[in-house]
Structure 1
Amino acid sequence: ILSVHPEGEVTLKEGGGRCVVELLFSPEQRMPPFTEELQLECLGGFRPLLVIKGCCQGVEVRLDTDYLQFGAVVQRCQATRRIIMQNTGDIGA
């Protein structure tokens, strides 16, 4: 869901050494808002670097039943059943 590149240890030269760090957030399902702290481990200690915040919004559709039975229907007649469809997601569908 959240990946950081480069992976593993990073060494920065003294006097202004730089490194590009890429954070990729790619959720596969709805997620409530979250907050995570990215920390630096250096010389046996930890130091907070930045706070990552995010969430994933999406459409989530549910039906009031998992099974719909029509039974036997006479030829050239019809049977009607009703179901309720509900969007419980964050985005209109």
Structure 2
Amino acid sequence: MMGGFIVTIVIALIAGWLGNNIIIRQTPQDIWEACVVALPAAWIGAYMPYFNTFGPKIMDIALVPTFLFALAAAVIFKVVKKVVKQAS
């Protein structure tokens, strides 16, 4: 059980970093914010009933949906943060 949680954290960190690098003009603190946002999304992707059967698994964690959910959350977070910053 703990191994799956660690795999989910590692995937969230990678996806948060990648999502942060997709959007230009980031700062180092934004990387950690994106990773924090990606963690719950990675957890949802890992354990959601239909999606967790897709792709290869490590310690019962489906890698593809976990990564895709975390990446989507990180990118959406960055876009929303950028829009809010420009609006203010």
Larger Rg: 1
Q: Which TM-score applies when normalising by structure 1?
A: 0.17
Q: TM-score, normalization: structure 2? A: 0.18
Q: Which has the higher contact order (CA 8 A, sep 6+)?
A: 2
Structure with higher helix content: 2
